[in-house]
A = this chain, B = another copy of it.
Amino acid sequence: MDSIAPSFVVNPSELADCLSALRASTPLIQCITNTVVTNFTANVLLAAGASPAMADLPGEAGDFAAIASATLVNLGTPYAEQRTGAFEAVSAANRAGTPWVLDPVAIGALKLRTEMAFKLRDLTPTVIRGNASEILVLADSGTGGRGVDATDSVGTAASHARNLALKSGAVIAVSGPQDLVTDGTRSVLVHGGSELLTQVTGGGCALGAICAAFIAVHDDAFIATVAAHAFYSAAAERAAGISNGPGSFAVNFIDALHQIDAQELKNKAVLSS
C-alpha cells in the first residue's frame, strides 16, 4: 500500500463516545438513495439507533434537508426526479448547516451519474464514501470499476484520496478489505469486517448511511467517519461468525448493529495508520 502519511492515532474512547451520542439522540437521517437498497439501508439505520427517512422528492427534499440531522446522497439509481431532489436537498443542507455524505456508486463508465457526481463533489460534501475505483474517478485519476465492483485497490487510491480530501474539503472514505479514512492531514485504516458484506447488496451503500448518522452526532467528521467504519466492521465480524451464507449474514448483521454498544465498539475497533 502507498504511504498513508501522516499517520494518526485515534483514541478508541472517542469512537465509543460517537456511538453513545448516536444512541442518545436518534438522529434523523435523510436518505436519497437507490431503489435496490432503500429497505436494507433503512433497517441498518434503525438497528444502529437512527431514524431514516427516504425524502427525495422535488418539493420535499429541500424542506427535509433543513430539518434532518444529516443527509445521504447515493447515486445508485439516479432517476430524473431524484436528481432534482438531490440538488435541492444539497442546497438546503448547505444553507442549514446539515452535514451530508456523497456516495458516488458505479461512476466512471456511466455518464449521467458521473457528471452528477462531479457537480456534487464541488458542493462541499462533508464525507465522500466509495470504493477505490469510484474515489479514483472523483480524484480525476481513474476510469471506474466494473459495475458496482472496484477494480482498483485501496492502496492504489490512498494518495489520491488524500489529495481529493484536501481539494474538496471532505473526509474521504475508501472501502475495501481494509477501509481508509482520511481528511488529507489525518489518515487511518479500519480493519476487521467480513467479505460477506460484499455478497449482500447494499453492504457499501448502507455504510454511507451509517457515516451520515455518525457525522450527525459528532462535530469532527473525520473521527465520526472512522467511528462509523469501526462500528460497521465490528458488527460484520460478529455476524459473520454465526452465519451460513449471505442470507443469514444479512439478518445477523442487522441484529449485531442493534446489539453492539459503546463498550464493545471500544474493545473491538482495530485501527492502524
Contacts and interface: CB of A to CB of B under 8 A. Distances in A.
Interface stretch (A36-44, A124-132, A166-174, A215-223): A36-44
Contacts of A258: 199, 245-247
A149 B51 contact: yes
Given A57-B77, A60-B113, A146 B51 contact: yes
Question: Chain A contact residues (Cβ within 8 angstroms of B): what range?
Answer: 35 or more
Contacts of A255: 244-248
Contact of A112 (B36, B54, B60, B253): B60
A252 B201 CA distance: 16
Contacts of A35: 35, 38, 54
B254 A246 contact: yes
A39 B202 contact: yes
Given A59-B111, A251-B248, A148 B51 contact: yes
B78 A57 contact: yes
A92 interface: no
A10 interface: no
A189 B211 CA distance: 40
Nearest to A83: B57
A257 B111 CA distance: 33
A40 B247 CA distance: 10
A264 interface: no
A178 interface: no
A49 to B, nearest CB: 9
A254 B247 contact: yes
Given A35-B54, A245-B256, A250-B254, 14 more contacts: A39-B40, A39-B202, A43-B246, A43-B247, A47-B199, A51-B149, A52-B201, A53-B148, A54-B76, A55-B110, A56-B77, A59-B111, A248-B255, A250-B251
